[in-house]
Structure 1
Amino acid sequence: MPQKSSAPRRSTLLAELAVTSRRYMASYALFNQAVADHLGLHPTDLQCLNLLGLEAGPVTTGRVAELTGLTTGSATRLVDRLERAGYVTRARDTADRRRVLVATVPDRMAEFGAVWERLNGGWAALFEAYDDDEVAFLIAHMRRTAELSAAQVERLRDGGAP
């Protein structure tokens, strides 16, 4: 159970968290942009590839839209760009010829993975500094953050106020 802190300390910590989280998000966005630039991709395309690499197999463009929070039209244009760059192919679903599946290209994904592998050493060292309970907390935080982000994206896409 989390410990409660005094009101003044809590207020100070929450103010610091607000500033630190903004710096964290900006640094990740800039890191994402740098990796995308290195690979000659748009940052959204980079993260789409990241998400496609986590899927069990080929997916529909509708699934790409779900994964990325994009509209189906934007997801189609994203897949077009990835196809032109050689990272994905499209093929008719053999079980349902009406559906088109988007599949990653193994050789290109291996190149993509090699870039992440070279960058992972620093992240691995960073996380080694934490004990098991802290790592478990980070995992829980990241899952909750991803869920909240997805909900916020959906709200914004539906025309809700930020």
Structure 2
Amino acid sequence: MPQKSRRSALMAELTVESRRYMAAYALFNQAVADHLRLHPTDLQCLNLLSLETVPVTTGRIAELTGLTTGSATRLVDRLERGGYVTRERDTADRRRVLVTTVPERMAEIGEVWERLNGAWAAMFEAYDDDEVALLIAHMRRTVELSALQVTALREGVPSVSGPGRA
């Protein structure tokens, strides 16, 4: 098969598998959220908050999630009612309110992830170090492009360019 035809075939297959991958992830996220009796966006917000090293403002949550500040406020309201986060005045700047996760509730989510992680770890063990490095690079670029695409969609921009190769 000529190189150009092979590339075209691979790109077509990549398009199909990417759609399956995104759908599978969305459905998996929904199932985990349902299991925890959370909205999928709330679950992913808690995931992102667990990666932050300090309490954050609702504005930062809007940045992390790509939500408007109003939507982020409603999300924090739901998480606070569910006992997953608390709001506290910033001692350095009393005008700011910081959102902090509740360790006991985060531990409940952690227990679910712990049960699921073994299968994921086993799947990644099949890859050599160079393949794992490629997966990491792909995931980082996907996160960057997703953020650009979310912004473009919200601003009504028809298309954006993806991040370059790292």
1:112-150 deviation digits (Å, cap 9, x = unpaired):
111111110110000000000000000000000000000
CA deviation after TM superposition for structure 1 residue 159, in Å: 1.9
Matched AA of 2:69: T
Q: Does 1:76 align with 2:73?
A: yes
1:138 corresponding residue in structure 2: 135
Q: Does 1:153 align with 2:159?
A: no
1:90-111 deviation digits (Å, cap 9, x = unpaired):
0100000000000000000111
CA deviation after TM superposition for structure 1 residue 57, in Å: 1.4
SS of 1:97 mapped into structure 2: coil
2:163 corresponding residue in structure 1: none
2:108 corresponding residue in structure 1: 111
CA deviation after TM superposition for structure 1 residue 7, in Å: 0.4
2:36 corresponding residue in structure 1: 39
Provide TM-score, normalisation by structure 2. 0.93
Give the paired residue count.
158
CA deviation after TM superposition for structure 1 residue 161, in Å: 2.5
2:123 corresponding residue in structure 1: 126
Select which of 5, 8, 11 maps to 2:5. 8
2:93 corresponding residue in structure 1: 96
Provide TM-score, normalisation by structure 1. 0.96
SS of 1:103 mapped into structure 2: strand
Q: Does 1:60 align with 2:57?
A: yes
Gaps of 5+ in 1: none
1:28 corresponding residue in structure 2: 25
Q: Does 1:50 align with 2:61?
A: no
The ranges of structure 1 where at least 4 consecutive aligned residues each deviate by more than 4 angstroms after the TM superposition are none
SS of 1:126 mapped into structure 2: helix
Question: Matched residues in 1 for 2:57 and 2:88: separation?
Answer: 10
1:18 corresponding residue in structure 2: 15
